[in-house]
């Protein structure tokens, strides 16, 4: 199943950045985000061969990944990343183009807004998803050049930009101005996932098939 390489890359990057994500969360959260994301990534990697053997489609695999996140990742990250994956599993067609991905992300933003009552600009992973959604929506009409590279850079820059935002939701909101200057851990995780997917697709354009 070609998309397995993309999934392995997206989960492995979380495992490799566990210390960074932990340090980010120690600054403005409970300090467990890195370990929680690693736990979910390892659980997905462990179950991926089973899903492959079952012949699950990409959509069904995304749904299974989402349910795995909900059952294995502690704190708020499990429901958040799980809900996003389950939503994407419903919205993405078999062979998505930029516009399809944009619309799926928009649906994901709506689902997460309902889940956590958060909005764009409140120092959450929505602040990575929103610029990605807009970039890919614009690319539907005019993909331009180096779309994967631009998507990768968009995600990484958007996560970094959360350092200048006030924290409105979560534990970080209790820190007030002390949360300024610190990147949101969930946003960084989201950016790492997107960057790894872009890297995987750059090497193998058929990885999402």
pLDDT of residue 15: 98
Burial of 119 (0-12, 13-18, 19+ CB in 10 A): middle
Segments of the chain with pLDDT less than 50: 1, 172-177, 209
- Whole-prediction pTM value? 0.90
pLDDT of residue 133: 98
pLDDT of residue 127: 97
Distance, CA of 113 to CA of 98 (rounded, Å): 22
pLDDT of residue 170: 53
Q: Where are the alpha helices (DSSP H) in the chain?
A: 3-16, 18-28, 33-53, 58-72, 77-91, 98-116, 126-141, 147-161, 185-203
CATH topology of domain 3-203: 1.25.40
Q: Supply the mean pLDDT for the chain.
A: 90
DSSP string, 70-104: HHH--TTHHHHHHHHHHHHHHH--SS--HHHHHHH
Taking CA atoms, 44 is separated from 20, 50, 64, 98, in Å, by 21, 10, 9, 26
Distance, CA of 86 to CA of 62 (rounded, Å): 6
Cα-Cα end-to-end distance for the chain: 8
Distance, CA of 83 to CA of 86 (rounded, Å): 5
- pLDDT tens per residue across span 109-168: 999 999 988 889 999 999 999 999 999 999 998 888 899 999 999 999 999 999 998 766
pLDDT of residue 209: 43
pLDDT of residue 94: 87
pLDDT of residue 156: 98
Our CA angle for 77, 20, 41, nearest 5°, is 45
Taking the domains of the chain in order of start, what are their residue ranges?
Answer: 3-203
């Amino acid at each position: 199943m070609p998309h397995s390489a993309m999934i392995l890359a997206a989960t492995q990057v979380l495992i490799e950045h566990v210390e960074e994500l932990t340090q980010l969360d120690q600054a403005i959260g409970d300090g467990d985000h890195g370990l929680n994301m690693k736990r979910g990534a390892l659980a997905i990697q462990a179950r991926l061969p089973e899903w492959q053997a079952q012949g699950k489609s990409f959509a069904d695999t995304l749904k299974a990944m989402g349910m795995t996140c909900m059952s294995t990742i502690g704190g708020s990250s499990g429901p958040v990343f799980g809900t996003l994956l389950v939503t994407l599993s419903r919205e993405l067609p078999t062979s998505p183009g930029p516009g399809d991905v944009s619309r799926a992300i928009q649906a994901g933003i709506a689902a997460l807004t309902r889940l956590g009552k958060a909005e764009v600009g409140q120092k959450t992973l929505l602040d990575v998803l929103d610029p990605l959604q807009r970039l890919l929506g614009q690319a539907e009409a005019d993909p331009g050049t180096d779309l994967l590279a631009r998507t990768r850079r968009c995600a990484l820059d958007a996560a970094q930009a959360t350092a200048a935002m006030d924290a409105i939701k979560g534990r970080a909101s209790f820190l007030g101005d002390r949360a300024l200057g610190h990147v949101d851990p969930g946003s960084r995780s989201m950016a790492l996932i997107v960057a790894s997917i872009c890297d995987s697709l750059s090497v193998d354009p058929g990885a999402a098939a």
